[in-house]
């Protein structure tokens, strides 16, 4: 099993124990499935194997080809034998990790994955171990990652509508992570995968920080919004407004009511009347791990926040900085502070003012959002006060319907996955013993 030792100053024991207890209860109550994936065919296939064999292990999967290699493991496209169901399996060599003192990172990732249940985050279908390997079975995303997808766009950058879509879904994933007491710390296009339906999924949580969070309801400071509608019969609430949030000052009578209000004119006014409603300000859920603190130097150089580079300690605001760099790269095809070498990049992060490339047609609202996220002082950075909720209210996201974003048509939908075609492209022989043996040396495939 993985070591339970903490990695430096990261991830308190108390937070770990609470998370382990919660994820255990969820697994017991749901039979190892997650609510938003309860009817998923992949879960049914996994459960069938467990019920038949009393468990699940490496023997039940056929490793088809390598999808990517990282610092703590290699990801394989795998097939659950006899099911035609495909998964991404992350295989980690525990002996190698122990020698490099990186077992705590693998443990952190497993604990986080066990607790997640969100459409834009991975589902952990199974976890099992051998004497040498630890394996995590997760969603396979046939659309690749946003870095490679960006390379295929005209000018190697996405148009603004696509950027808005991807940034909005990433923001919702980060909001959920922060609510769960997880600071992601590794946002970059390479870690944003594209599902078969075109929606995104964040990946790689071994650099994440587990911390305590205390969700709080705070009253919005926004003023009452008056809503006037001409109604015919009973007033129908918009689906995005909770009934308890409305305090009608005057109700409409239903058509055909025998005793209409005396102030209304007879039939015409009874059938068409003015309703004046006030929408009471809804309380906001504040679930930002503002007390999170880490001294670790983790992340990708071009995405590191100034507080990480300076070594003075950092918290959840690093995720809002990386969101700004992420949006900049999608829009302009490069990161804002990249230098000729890593040391120059780090100096630029600390001291270079933000500037936008000329000749790229980007709206003022997009530039304004990026500038607000890339404030070098984390205490006044957008998101530092009320987390994701204040970022969602920025004008750049004005057209986003947050409640229905899963119903939004993505910018691109991947072509249907074809295993034979994929194997022919990579030159992989599915009958080769190497495809069944994670100990075999593999080439460094592109990150999916």
Q: What is the pLDDT of residue 243?
A: 37
pLDDT band (50, 70, 90) for residue 226: very low
For 307-364, the pLDDT digits (tens) are 999 998 888 999 999 999 999 999 999 999 999 999 999 999 999 999 999 989 999 9
Compare 192 and 256 and report the one with higher pLDDT. 192
Compare 417 and 426 and report the one with higher pLDDT. 417
Q: What is the pLDDT of residue 433?
A: 39
How high does pLDDT run on average in the chain?
79
Contacts of 103 (CB under 8 A, 6+ apart): 2, 3, 5, 94, 97
* Residues 345, 349: Cα–Cα separation, whole Å: 6
Which residue carries 């009471």 as its tokens?
280
Residue 18 Rama label (left phi>0; alpha psi -120 to 50; beta): alpha
The dihedral over CA atoms of 430, 134, 14, 29, expressed in degrees to the nearest 10, equals 60
- Homologous superfamily of domain range 146-215+294-407: Transferase(Phosphotransferase) domain 1 (1.10.510.10)
CA atoms 396, 401, 406, 408: torsion sign: negative
For 277-316, the pLDDT digits (tens) are 445 566 776 677 766 777 788 889 999 999 999 998 888 9
Which residue carries 């207890």 as its tokens?
21
Mean pLDDT of 211-230: 57
pLDDT band (50, 70, 90) for residue 5: very low
- Annotate 369-399 with DSSP letters as a single string: HHHHHT-SSTTTSTTTTTTHHHHHTSGGGTT
* Residues 75, 448: Cα–Cα separation, whole Å: 9
| Tokens encoding 72 | 């703590």
Q: What is the pLDDT of residue 421?
A: 75
Q: What is the pLDDT of residue 445?
A: 30
For the domain made up of 13-140+415-436, give the CATH fold: Phosphorylase Kinase; domain 1 (3.30.200)
Compare 216 and 446 and report the one with higher pLDDT. 216
Q: What is the pLDDT of residue 174?
A: 97
Q: What is the pLDDT of residue 425?
A: 66
Q: Which parts of 116-260 are beta strand (E)? A: 126-129, 133-138, 182-183, 192-194, 200-202, 209-210, 216-219, 225-231, 246-248
Give the residues across from 21 on adjacent strands: none
C-alpha dist (Å) from residue 260 to 234, 271, 276: 13, 10, 17
| Tokens encoding 240 | 């995005």
> What are the residue ranges spanned by the domains of the chain?
13-140+415-436, 146-215+294-407, 223-280
Contact 166, 175 (CB under 8 A): no
Catalytic residues: 186
pLDDT band (50, 70, 90) for residue 432: very low
User: Which among 90, 130, 128 has a CA at the least distance from the CA of 109?
Assistant: 90
Strands 273-279 and 225-231: antiparallel
Give the residues across from 129 on adjacent strands: 134
CA atoms 142, 144, 146, 150: torsion sign: negative
The crossing angle, in degrees rounded to 10, of helices 160-179 and 317-332 is: 160
Of 166-175, 365-374, 404-413, 415-424, where does mean pLDDT reach its minimum? 415-424
User: Which among 439, 428, 350, 328 has a CA at the least distance from the CA of 79?
Assistant: 428
pLDDT band (50, 70, 90) for residue 385: confident
Q: What is the pLDDT of residue 84?
A: 87
pTM of the entire predicted model = 0.77
């Amino acid at each position: 099993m993985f070591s339970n030792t903490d990695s430096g100053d990261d991830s308190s024991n108390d937070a770990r124990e609470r998370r382990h207890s919660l994820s255990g209860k969820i697994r017991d109550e749901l039979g190892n499935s997650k609510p938003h994936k309860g009817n998923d065919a992949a879960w049914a296939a996994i459960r069938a194997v467990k019920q038949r064999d009393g468990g699940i292990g490496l023997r039940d999967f056929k490793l088809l080809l390598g999808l990517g290699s990282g610092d703590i493991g290699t990801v394989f496209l795998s097939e659950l034998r006899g099911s035609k169901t495909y998964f991404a399996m992350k295989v980690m060599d525990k002996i190698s990790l122990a020698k490099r003192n990186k077992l705590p990172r693998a443990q952190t990732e497993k604990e986080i994955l066990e607790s997640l249940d969100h459409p834009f985050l991975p589902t952990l279908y199974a976890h099992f171990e051998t004497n040498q390997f630890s394996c995590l079975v997760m969603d396979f995303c046939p659309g690749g990652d946003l870095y490679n997808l960006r390379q295929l766009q005209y000018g190697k950058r996405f148009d603004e509508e696509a950027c808005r879509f991807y940034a909005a879904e990433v923001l919702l994933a980060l909001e959920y992570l922060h609510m769960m007491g997880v600071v992601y710390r590794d946002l970059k296009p390479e870690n944003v995968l594209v599902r078969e339906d075109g929606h995104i999924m964040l990946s790689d949580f071994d650099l994440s920080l587990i911390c305590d969070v205390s969700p709080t309801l705070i009253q919005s400071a926004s003023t009452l919004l008056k809503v006037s509608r001409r109604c015919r019969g009973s007033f129908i609430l918009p689906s995005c407004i909770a009934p308890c949030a409305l305090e009608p000052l005057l109700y409409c009578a239903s058509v055909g009511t025998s005793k209409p209000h005396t102030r209304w004119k007879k039939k015409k006014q009874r059938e068409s009347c003015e309703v004046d409603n006030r929408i009471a300000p809804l309380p906001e859920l504040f679930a930002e791990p503002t007390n999170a603190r880490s001294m670790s130097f983790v992340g990708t150089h071009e995405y590191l926040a100034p507080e990480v580079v300076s070594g003075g300690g950092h918290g959840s605001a690093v995720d809002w900085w990386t969101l700004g760099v992420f949006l900049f790269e999608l829009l302009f095809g490069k990161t804002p502070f990249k230098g000729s070498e890593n040391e120059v990049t780090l100096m630029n992060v600390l001291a270079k003012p933000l500037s936008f490339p000329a000749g790229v047609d980007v709206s003022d609202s997009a530039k304004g959002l990026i500038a607000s996220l890339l404030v070098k002082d984390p205490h006044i950075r957008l998101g530092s006060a009320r987390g994701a909720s204040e970022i969602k209210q920025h004008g750049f996201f004005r057209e986003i319907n947050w409640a229905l974003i899963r119903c939004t048509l993505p910018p691109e939908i991947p072509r249907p996955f074809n295993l034979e075609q994929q194997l022919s492209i990579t030159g992989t022989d599915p009958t080769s013993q190497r495809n069944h043996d994670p100990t075999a040396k593999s080439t460094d495939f592109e990150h999916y």
